[in-house]
Structure formats: C-alpha cells, structure tokens
Structure 1
C-alpha cells in the first residue's frame, strides 16, 4: 500500500548541516506543510539539470513546522545529488511535490527491525521516531563503512531511543559488523523488517531474511536507485486511448518513445524505483525491470513502470 499526496509546494531551505560521509542534512519550511507518515519522501525538482529526484524524510512525522532530508553527494550518480548540494543553501527555494509514501510503516507490528545502509538510514530515522512515540518494540541497525562517514551519528547517540540503535562499521572487528544470522529475529506473523540502502546491501538482507522464513510481505524495502538495464529486443506498444501504435527499439524506453509522439507520462526517477510512471496495461507480456512493483502486482500483469520495463511481443496500454 502507498499513501500519496499530490501537493506542489515551494519550500525554503532554512538550515543545512554538512554531516559526515558527504551527506547534507537539509531542513525545508513552508506554509501549511501537509502531514506525513513514517517512510514518506519528497520529490524535488532541479531545473538547471531538468531532473526530479526523491528524498526520504528523516524528520519526526509528528513535526509540523519543517521537513528534513539527508542527501548524499554522489559524483557517480546522474547529477541529481550533486545539484542538490550545490543549490540547497540557506535561503534557497525548491519546487517540491509530495509528500508521498510508498514505504509505509506497519504500526500494528509487535516487533520491528529497521536496517539502514549508508544514506538508506534516512527513512529509518523517521520510523524509529514514530515507533518510539508509540512505545513499540524495535531495533535500528545502521551500517556504514566506518564511523568517520556515519552521518546522523551524534543525533542518534543523543536520541531518546539511542539504546535501540546498533551501529555496524565495516572497518571494525567482525563481531561489530551486521550478522544477519545473529541480528535478525525469528520469523513471526507480527514481526516486520524494513531495509533501505545500496542495492547489494538490500538484496543481501532481503534474500537472507526470506530464506530464513520471513514472509515476503513482512520484509519491506525501498530502493533509492537501481542498476537497471533499459535495453532489449524491439517490441510494439499500442496506446489504445490515444490511437497510437509504436515500435520501441532496442535503445528506446516506452516513456521516451511515447513522449516523442505527444503522449506524455510523468517520469521522475527513470530507474523504476519511484512509481511515478506506473501505467495500466490492458494486455501483453511485460518484462518488468523496476524495483517498485511487488511480486503480486507483477503477477497480476496489469501495470508496469514505463520508464524502464519492456515488453515481449505487443503491449496494449490504457493511455
């Protein structure tokens, strides 16, 4: 389940802390901020590079006066994070959509385990704050290469739930590193796991948890980015409502090809992680390449992320 708002806002950067590990902690304020739930994110538009990028909120969901995000400056990215670091100075204004929540917290769980790798800690902090406020049983595992690059370290040490936070650093003794056989609880219907971070870290946690018997529906995940192969064999797409049939070439994406013919679908992440471009499919064999849809949604075969997924044969879209 996802919880979305569709507000478009202009927010002002009122505070910026350049924390360890190249992570900027950015506080945004505006009038009548929509309420948020733990796990929510904002879509931020960067006009100079014409990109939308998504950033999870790490501020307390109970906070009504501001939003806070953490942004890793990653030179290997496609330019979004570098641009945020450049423009998000105190006093700057940013066009923002949301908040949206595709990573909601199940507040009915008896036990919750939060696992954040690197910048993937940001939604986990908001979840920890909410779980603490609810008096729930939880633990937060935070994995980084070393303490010297561990953003939010001091804030988490000072948090009222600091006794629930376990730090794991790659450059420390083996017993300090995350050990999933030791650190994951036994599977149970009311035990839920949440993971966010680099794709390799997430795949390791998810595969290990599910192999240990945790139900897929109890292992929640949010990808910030994904290594996605956009190429493949040519196939046809019929946009039935628009009366257009197109050939999608080996280097094309459905969204880009449709846009060339005047059929615009909103696309933001271009990696199949944000869900903005999900489109209804009337018929056809979908080659899913995204990290957004659940296994159950893929099996239904009636929707796809057109920024990255492809078809085998002909697809008929409800657009």
Structure 2
C-alpha cells in the first residue's frame, strides 16, 4: 500500500484506524495515514509477532539467580540452559519447557503460552523438542517454542 493509495481511500480525518501486524508495516501505514490527515492519537496499533530482544530470548536478570527447580529431580532427558550454565533432568510435573525455565528462574521472553505469538522463540542448540500444542505457525528452522514444547531427548537451549 502506498501513501497515495491510502489518500485515495478518503478516510475521514476524525476516523480511528486499528492496525495489527509487524512493527515495520504498522509504522509505514501509520505514517501514511497521518499524511492523509488522520490524527496520530486516532491510530491504534498492536504488534503481531515477536519483538526483537537485546539478547535473543533473554529479558535481563530474573528475581533470583538460575537454580535447579524445587523438589525431586526428574527422570527425563537433560535440559541444559547454555547461557545460564544450568542443567537439570526433565520432570513430567512441568507441562512445557517454559514452565521448567520459570521454575529455574531463568529469564526468558514469553506472552501467549500457546505457540501463537512466537515471543519465546529460542534456538535449541542440540536435538529436538516435541510440541504439546501445535503452534499456529511452525517456528523457523533451528528454532523452538518453549511455551508449548517438551524435550524428546537431551536438549541444550540458548537461554
């Protein structure tokens, strides 16, 4: 869509526009709407998709230092968090890798917990995960969604 094509729509200056898509698209369309006479306060946006992180997958220090999860150690595959220097066995008490990550106080990004938003996208550095809930859209090759996956073998995550 071009600035000219938006102007040709004849959108009234007091209209409200609701945009949801990737940030770059919304920025371009919002600018074109303003050039067409729409007030910036009448343009509402919601980001679709993961936001960029300073350290991919990490948001900063958590409330505590990373540690093994409370309770008895699991008997499943080893889950190793590369950046946090922590390794623990998977336990069926967790429904997803994200829940294990939280139990270990390992900082990570997340939002939907169902594989829709891809905010939690994380590179598994070794082996595979299995999705307990099929993501709305599969992650890119070499990436996993901890919010809706469990390890099938020992796994090394870039967290």
TM-score w.r.t. the length of structure 2 is 0.53
Secondary structure of the residue aligned to 1:257 is helix
Determine which structure has the larger helix proportion and give its number.
1
1:243–1:67 CA distance, 2 compared to 1 (3 A): same
| Distance across 2 between alignment mates of 1:271 and 1:242 | 24
2:69 maps to none
- Gap regions ≥5 residues in structure 1: 1-26, 29-35, 43-56, 69-97, 103-232
**2:125 counterpart of 1:282:** yes
- 2:47 corresponds to which of 81, 90, 100: 100
Secondary structure of the residue aligned to 1:274 is coil
**2:21 counterpart of 1:40:** yes
State the shift of 1:238 in Å.
Answer: 0.5
Determine which structure has the larger strand proportion and give its number.
1
1:315 maps to 155
Aligned partners of 2:97 and 2:151 also within 8 Å: no
1:272 maps to 115
| Distance across 2 between alignment mates of 1:280 and 1:67 | 35
Give the number of equivalent residue pairs. 105
State the shift of 1:263 in Å.
Answer: 0.4
More contact order relative to length (CA 8 Å, sep ≥ 6) = 2
- Gap regions ≥5 residues in structure 2: 1-15, 50-74
| Distance across 2 between alignment mates of 1:292 and 1:247 | 28
| Distance across 1 between alignment mates of 2:48 and 2:87 | 34
- Cα RMSD (Å) of the superposition? 3.3
1:241 maps to 83
Query: What is the correspondence of 1:13-52 to structure 2 with a 5 Å cutoff?
Result: 39-40=20-21
| Distance across 2 between alignment mates of 1:66 and 1:287 | 43
Aligned partners of 1:255 and 1:264 also within 8 Å: no
1:293 maps to 138
List, as ranges, runs of 4+ consecutive aligned residues in structure 1 with deviation greater than 4 Å.
Answer: none
